[in-house]
Amino acid sequence: MADLSKVLTIAEMMALARQRVPKQFFDYADSGAWTESTYRANQDDFAKITLNQRVAVNMEGRSLKTSMIGQEVAMPVALAPTGLTGMQHPDGEIKAARAAEVFGVPFTLSTMSICSIEDVAENTTKPFWFQLYVMRDRKFIERLIDRAKAAKCSALVLTMDLQILGQRHKDLRNGMSAPPKFTPKFVFEMARKPGWALGMLGTQRRTFRNIVGHVENAGDLSKLSVWTNSQFDPSLSWKDLSWVKDRFGGPVIVKGVLDAGDARQAVAHGADAVIVSNHGGRQLDGAPSTIRVLPEIVDAVGKTAEVYIDGGIRSGQDVVKALAMGAKSTFIGRAFLWGLGAGGEAGVKRVLDILARELDITMALCGERDIRNIGPHNIYSNDIPPRNRVGGNH
């Protein structure tokens, strides 16, 4: 096991994860739709923003603490919902949730997780958040929401941008599935990644445990795949948000917003917060980066709901830039997955430590002592071109 204390950047953690995680699951995280142009833009556009350095200011007594939907957090970073997290590392969702709990930031469990809601609840002590896909089988969704309530999940993250599954070429070429199919190619990968293989032998959690056992005729891999692919609902509407909000009875965060009109609709139908997200570049290839769209969403709903952002965040400096552009907080997905793949719970904790240190140093050098004071005055230049919008918002 590598000394994770020597890992200084998220890029180094990514390289370590690549060495330890089978290709189909590493590629599942490190991929976008079609040409992956939006995936690349999410990260590239952060680099076009430069920060305003200040000197001769008091940098003592700094604080990264803030809040998200009324919950105090150690820094403005939450762990985003990611599918198949438990295939990056055995019992991955449990390990990531524990790391987030120790650090003091929110963990969000995906509907398409390997460890179930109950698995995570039984292995943590503080409430976590649950991400929901609204599927055609509304009775199953009702039970899923009720299970999240029973597990005392303190917020629901409703993903709205997966009515139709985007095409990700790496997944198709790799034959990605959970549990994996034991093809000669995958057996070869396991031989190259023995630590991962031995870890997987030591757990029973290798399939979508929020679904298997809770849906009829979804027990084996082929039937589960058919059921899942048929369940994403093209008819999803804002009325479904109101229904989910009523059923859950707690805070609901809408994820997948890239349009100011959609943001206003989300808030009008009960959203307590919105996440500016393009699904990590995994849905509409050619969509703008999230940091480029963020100011429009803040202008539209920032006075009535909290606005968060995900996509492309690879450093504490990126977090500062997102806050300066108007976000209340940020979500990381790939960054924590690479930590998980590289070193399990300790790897996720190391990722959070790296981000916190970068965030703290950057904040200080921008002349701020309280992360809640970061704003437009901390930006020196923004070279992201303005969007050319045709037509009006709906």
- As annotated, the active-site residues are 279
- C-alpha Rg value of the chain to the nearest Å: 20
313 assigned ligand-binding residue: yes
Q: Which two tokens stand for residue 133?
A: 């896909």
Does 159 carry a binding-site annotation?
yes
* Distance separating alpha carbons of residues 252 and 216, to the nearest angstrom: 28
Is residue 255 part of an annotated ligand binding site?
yes
Q: Is 170 annotated as a binding residue?
A: no
321 is in an annotated binding site: no
Could you list the beta-strand ranges (E) of 57-102: 66-68, 71-73, 77-79
Question: Does the annotation list 19 as a binding residue?
Answer: no
Q: Tell me whether residue 314 is annotated as binding.
A: yes
Say whether 133 counts as a known binding-site residue: yes
Helix axes 260-268, 290-301, angle to 10 degrees: 50
Q: Is 389 annotated as a binding residue?
A: no
Cis peptide before 179 (omega within 30 of 0): yes
312 assigned to a ligand binding site: yes
**What single DSSP character describes residue 71?**
E
Whether 82 has a binding-site annotation, put simply, is yes
152, 280, 358 from 128: Cα distances, Å:
8, 22, 25
Residue pair 257/263 in contact (Cβ under 8 Å)? The answer is yes
Sequence length of the chain is 394
Q: What is the dihedral of CA 305, 289, 229, 247, to 10 degrees?
A: 0
For residue 35, say whether it is annotated as part of any ligand binding site. Answer: no
124 is in an annotated binding site: no
CA–CA dist 263, 27 (Å, integer): 31
Residue 372 among known ligand-binding residues: no
- Secondary structure of 258-271 as H, E, C letters: CCHHHHHHHHHCCC
Which amino acid appears at position 296 of this protein? Answer: E
61 among annotated binding-site residues: no
Distance of alpha carbon 49 from alpha carbon 389, whole angstroms:
21
H-assigned helices in 45-160:
92-103, 117-122, 138-150
357 annotated ligand-binding residue: no
326 known member of a binding site: no
341 is in an annotated binding site: no
How far apart CA 329 and CA 277 sit, in angstroms, is 13
User: Which residues 6+ apart lie within 8 Å of 387 measured at CB?
Assistant: 288, 292, 293, 296
CA-angle at 255, arms to 346 and 299, nearest 5°? 115
Q: Closest by alpha carbon to 26, among 40, 15, 39?
A: 15
Indicate the annotated binding residues.
28, 81-83, 110, 131, 133, 159, 168, 255, 277, 279, 282, 310-314, 333-334
Indicate the annotated binding residues for FMN.
81-83, 110, 131, 159, 255, 277, 310-314, 333-334
Indicate the annotated binding residues for glyoxylate.
28, 133, 168, 279, 282
